[in-house]
Structure 1
Amino acid sequence: MLTRHFQHWPNRLPHSLIVPETGIVHNLEVSANRYPDKTAITYYGAELSYRELLEQVDHLAGFLQKELGVASGDRVLLFMQNAPQFVIAYYAIARVNAIVVPINPMHVTRELSFYIEDNEPKAAIVGQELYERVAPFNGQSSLEHVVVAAYNDYADPASDLPLPDVVKQSRQAIGDDYVTEWRDALAYKIKPDPVPFSLDDPVVLPYTSGTTGKPKGCVHTSKTVQANTVGAVHWGNASASGVVLSTLPFFHVTGMIHGMHVPIYSGGNMVLMTRWERETAARLIERYRCTHWTNISTMLVDFLSMPDITEWDLESLTYIGGGGAPLPRAVGEKLFELTGLRYAEGYGLSETIAQTHFNPPDRSKLQCLGIPSFDVDARIIDMDTLEELGEGETGEIVVNGPQVFKGYWRRPEETEKSFLTIDGKPFFRTGDIGRYDEEGYFFIVDRAKRMINASGYKVWPTEVESTLYKHPKVQSACVVGVPDSRRGETVKAFIVPTDQARDDVTAEEIIQWAKEQMAAYKYPRLVEFVDSLPMTASGKILWRVLQEKEWEKAKQK
């Protein structure tokens, strides 16, 4: 096990954590008992106390259990955007020992069919604007009932905050025998019966994004979820005095842990945004004195590019971190100038319910994954020989730790292929290519499946992107491999220019600059300027979409 990173471990923290042998619902019960009248959720001007949050969780759990027959081990689809109802539904499902299946709210009916066939949910809890996408499965699948929620029910209509369109929409009556409206479900006021609890029972089934193939459900238990929840609480100094700006989608593991589970565990206030809007985010930080904000680099790039960013009061922030993609160095420096905070990048996957690596908040390195989290053994192996590699050598990142999932849902063969044994311990193969430096900090090079083979040379797109981000006229970049008759593949960069450079930057300018910054086989031969890059709801750039379009175009020539 690597230990050199302990030299830079925060002095206030132990290297190992004792994680409570209780579930997430117990976390809520503890906070509700400790701080019953304290605000748990702030949502577009309205507030929900911890007493009210627990009461509504119990009422929804009772409805699921006694009216819909949801029992231990049943799957319940949670298909909605960030809202108080997402939090209530998640904890209500866990309260009856069923399994939360959080689904990306951007999915359409055709895409939903895969998830419904794969995990066979008994019921679904969905946002009102998404119901029509679920309706075709009523009576035609395992789905027996749907609870429909209107976000507007929990917002303050008198708030001066700009409401997203889906939050403005008032509750609509749905004449469908398969449907119960959210308020009606709570109105039953049924108390759920106690259910047997085991740390090893599945509690949530997040799906991989599918950017490298068909999505797979990742089986996580109370033990794995609590490991990262408690780890994040300690690493970020979370407390009941904390105010968390929750902008990442809760269906995604990073938003789930840092935006929802962490503040509930610590008794903090989560300030929710249903849709990202940078000026509203600044207003919320200023108004509610937000202390913690876990985001993605693309979100922070957008936030800091506001022309009037210096006019907002951001002094309350004590912790800003995230991941998804390397943060451009210039953006990290701008953040430090504005707030005095270093961006604490982290690294994790759906299979690890968010972080396996963190940057120490007081000693962060930009464009770096950080150091292994509590009780995590992370190593680099040769992808062909599976031999362990040393400092500075590039190979696959493999991890062993308490947050690693129990396997892919109903995919035993893929589960088995995803693990290997080192020193008698099971290590998960992340599929990410990386290295670590002399201080034990890890850096990502790229996804194994994303490597470009240009004239026999290996080109890692992330490395090229990181260099392109240093150009003052580049706001965002995505590099892909495209067919080339002479080189086999060549490097193409899709670039979103900065607002100031949109009218005067040229492809030739970028190519010539890149040529001076990196080896001849790495720099992009092709550059295309775009207004935006395709992204997942969690903010990851969909490089595969761009690459597939390029290969399809090549076939048609």
Structure 2
Amino acid sequence: MTERHFQFWPKRLPTTLTIPETTIYDNLEVSARRYPQKTAIHYYGNTISYRKLCDEANALAGYLQTELGVAKGDRVVLYMQNSPQYIVAFYAILRANAVVVPINPMNTTDELAFYVTDCGAKVAIIGQELYERIAPVLQKGVLKHLIVAAYSDYLPGTVEYELPEAVAAARRDIDNTAVTSWNEALAGGYRPGPIEAGADDLAVLPYTSGTTGKPKGCIHTHRTVQANIVGSCAWYQLTPNATILATLPLFHVTGLQHSMNAPIYAGSTIVLLTRWHRNVAAQLIERAKCTHWTNIATMVVDFLANPNLSKYRLHSMCLIGGGGAPLPKAVGEKLYQLTGIRYVEGYGLSETMAQTHFNPLDRPKLQCVGVPSFDVDARVVDPETLRELGPGEEGEIVVRGPQVFKGYWNRPEENNKAFVEIDGKTFFRTGDIGKYDEEGYFFIIDRLKRMINAAGFKVWPAEVESILYKHPAVEHACVIGAPDDRRGETVKAFIVLKETAVGTVTEKDIIVWSKGQMAEYKYPRIVEIVRSLPMSGSGKILWRVLQEEELKKQKQA
């Protein structure tokens, strides 16, 4: 274990933190008692107090238990976009002693069916715009009940901001006995039963993809989630007077922790956007006097490219940072010139419920993921021998810490591959190739696993390929990551057509078909139809050859 970074550790911060023995829900209850009338959520001009947020979470928890039979340990799917209802539902599920299964709202019906079946959820809480996608899953009997929310119910009487279509849409009635409207569920006035969950009970089951392309649920207890909630608050100096601009999707662990759970623990205010919009973000920073903003690099690039940016007062901001993909150095410098703030990058995974590494606020390095977080033992090892490597040597990053998950849901074989013993301690293999410098700062070099990072979203080629093979014209498919100025990487598919389809099926046809088969961030933006693919002697497609050729082609362009 390297301790080089401790000489650059933030002053007046301990290197170790004690994790609460209480549940995540308890954080909301405490803040509601401390700051009952304080604004917890600012939503396009509407404000919701901590007291109201807690009361609604309790009412929904009571409905889940009393009417839908949700019991301790049951998994409940949360399938909606950023909204006050998302936050209420998250804490209601936990108050019902159940487990939150956050699902990307871009997922299609087939993808949803897999998640629901895999986690065994009988109940889902959804945004009304997603009903048509999940209804077929309900009809198959996998799900038993839906609670459907309309985001417009939480808007103020007069809205001064440009709204996404899903937010502006009026509430609509759904004629299905297995469906309850959000307002109906809350109007029942139910009270939840006793709190039975403890620190080591399962709390959140976020899904990540593996090297096989098959999504896996990451088992996180209240304790593992609390570790990074408390760590975020301490590192980012969150107080009740902080105002957090929440633009990252809350289904993703970074948004979930930094834009929702940490602010609620601290009693801060969350300024919530359902969808990213650079003008609305700037307006809200100015009007709500936002202080903290955790994002992804593509948001910062778009924000700074706004020709109207000079019209807004951004002086309230004191911290801007994120992860998912490195921020280009030129963009970081432009941000500093505009705001006087150095961008602070971090690193983590679904398996670690966001961060294992942070950049020190007063000494960050660009395109660097920072130093190990509180109580994290991070090492760089040889991927084959597991021999620990020194400064400047590239190898696989392995981590051990209080935020590391307890394993994959119903995936014993994957668990055996995910964890290793080093010096008598259990470490999680991140699958990321990296190194650390003489000062103990870590850098990501490449990925041991075959993964594409498209605008912060993880895309596994094998999963996309498996869907492409469903196309009746596809003989062979190979998916790689292609460099993209905006998204960092984008998905590219090389397709060999069946003889009968040659000359009749085009690249555009494949792209259009793909958009209807998988989530928006997954489908190939680029398709190249080729006569053949490079193969090994055993008949395996040599994807690395295609990847290297693509990178070479981009450099020459």
Q: Give the TM bin, normalised by the shorter chain.
A: 0.7 to 0.9
1:133 Cα deviation from its structure 2 partner: 1.1
Is it true that 1:296 corresponds to 2:273 in the alignment? Answer: no
Give the 3 Å change call, closer, same or farther, for CA 492–241 of structure 1 in structure 2: closer
SS in 2 for 1:555: coil
Comparing 108-117 with 265-274, greater Cα deviation is found at: 108-117
Q: Check the 8 A contact 1:352/1:403 in 2, yes or no.
A: yes
Letter in 1 for 2:288: Y
TM-score (norm 2): 0.83
Structure-1 residue corresponding to 2:312: 312
1:493 Cα deviation from its structure 2 partner: 5.2
Q: Check the 8 A contact 2:323/2:345 in 1, yes or no.
A: yes
SS in 2 for 1:37: coil
Give the 3 Å change call, closer, same or farther, for CA 176–492 of structure 1 in structure 2: closer
Q: Check the 8 A contact 1:212/1:449 in 2, yes or no.
A: no
Give the 5 Å matches for 1:415-434: 415-434=415-434
Give the 5 Å matches for 1:94-493: 94-209=94-209, 213-450=213-450
1:554 Cα deviation from its structure 2 partner: 5.3
Give the 3 Å change call, closer, same or farther, for CA 24–417 of structure 1 in structure 2: same
SS in 2 for 1:449: coil
Structure-1 residue corresponding to 2:75: 75
Give the 3 Å change call, closer, same or farther, for CA 226–556 of structure 1 in structure 2: closer
Residues 359-412 of structure 1: per-residue CA shift (max 9 Å, x gap): 011100000010000000000010111111111000000000000000000001
1:450 Cα deviation from its structure 2 partner: 4.0
Give the 3 Å change call, closer, same or farther, for CA 449–492 of structure 1 in structure 2: closer
SS in 1 for 2:143: coil
1:139 Cα deviation from its structure 2 partner: 4.9
1:555 maps to which of 529, 532, 557 = 532
Give the 3 Å change call, closer, same or farther, for CA 556–426 of structure 1 in structure 2: closer
Structure-2 residue corresponding to 1:524: none
Structure-2 residue corresponding to 1:24: 24
Is it true that 1:36 corresponds to 2:49 in the alignment? Answer: no
1:556 Cα deviation from its structure 2 partner: 7.8
1:553 Cα deviation from its structure 2 partner: 3.3
1:422 Cα deviation from its structure 2 partner: 1.0
Output the CA distance in 2 between the equivalents of 1:438 and 1:6.
Answer: 12
TM-score (norm 1): 0.83
Structure-2 residue corresponding to 1:472: none
Q: Check the 8 A contact 1:104/1:251 in 2, yes or no.
A: yes
Identity %: 59
Count of residues paired in the alignment: 483
Give the 4+ runs in structure 1 shifted more than 3 A: 209-212, 491-498, 539-542, 544-547
Structure-1 residue corresponding to 2:464: none
Give the 3 Å change call, closer, same or farther, for CA 236–492 of structure 1 in structure 2: closer
Output the CA distance in 1 between the equivalents of 2:107 and 2:115.
Answer: 10
Letter in 2 for 1:104: N
Q: Check the 8 A contact 1:210/1:216 in 2, yes or no.
A: yes
Comparing 389-398 with 156-165, greater Cα deviation is found at: 156-165
Letter in 2 for 1:183: N
SS in 1 for 2:216: coil
Structure-1 residue corresponding to 2:501: none
1:135 Cα deviation from its structure 2 partner: 1.1
Q: Check the 8 A contact 2:298/2:486 in 1, yes or no.
A: no
Output the CA distance in 1 between the equivalents of 2:482 and 2:418.
Answer: 31
Letter in 1 for 2:90: Y
Q: Check the 8 A contact 2:72/2:197 in 1, yes or no.
A: no
Output the CA distance in 2 between the equivalents of 1:252 and 1:493.
Answer: 23
Comparing 397-406 with 189-198, greater Cα deviation is found at: 189-198
Q: Check the 8 A contact 1:78/1:124 in 2, yes or no.
A: yes
1:311 Cα deviation from its structure 2 partner: 2.6
Give the 5 Å matches for 1:56-71: 56-71=56-71
Output the CA distance in 2 between the equivalents of 1:102 and 1:157.
Answer: 30
Q: What's the C-alpha RMSD, in Å, of the aligned pairs?
A: 2.5
1:2 Cα deviation from its structure 2 partner: 1.2
Q: Check the 8 A contact 1:310/1:338 in 2, yes or no.
A: no
1:308 Cα deviation from its structure 2 partner: 2.5
Is it true that 1:47 corresponds to 2:43 in the alignment? Answer: no
Structure 2: where are the runs of 5+ without partners?
Answer: 462-477, 488-513, 535-557
